[in-house]
Amino acid sequence: MKRKTLYRYLREDGGYTISPVKPEGTAYTKRYRLIADEGKAITKGEIITEVIDVKSYAGWQDCEKPEPEYDPDTSIPEEGIQ
């Protein structure tokens, strides 16, 4: 898993920005973007994902990427494609 540090800070217009660029002269809090290795996933409890932004990376670990679930309402079988 890769971990990238992000910086969350309040803009002058009252909104927040989350950026990989550390702001100068502005108060910020750190966040982390966790990115699963190629063909893998990451997990913490019931959450399984490939990318997530979190306040803390404690407890996150690598896991196998689950097989996608077949949904008959949105999936088209191979034999139906011409």
Phi, then psi, of 80 in degrees rounded to 5: -85, -10
5-38 tens-digit pLDDT = 999 999 999 999 999 999 999 999 999 999 999 9
- Number of folded domains in the chain? 1
36-66 tens-digit pLDDT = 999 999 999 999 999 999 999 999 999 999 8
**Number of CB atoms found within 10 A of residue 1's CB:** 15
Look at the block and give the residue holding tokens 């196998």.
64
Residue 11 belongs to some domain of the structure: yes
Residue 70 belongs to some domain of the structure: no
Which sign does the torsion angle of CA 47, 55, 16, 34 carry?
negative
Give yes or no for a contact between 31 and 18, defined as CB atoms under 8 angstroms apart. Answer: yes
Residue 30 belongs to some domain of the structure: yes
Residue 81 belongs to some domain of the structure: no
Residue 18 belongs to some domain of the structure: yes
Task: Please give the single-letter amino acid code of residue 31.
Answer: R
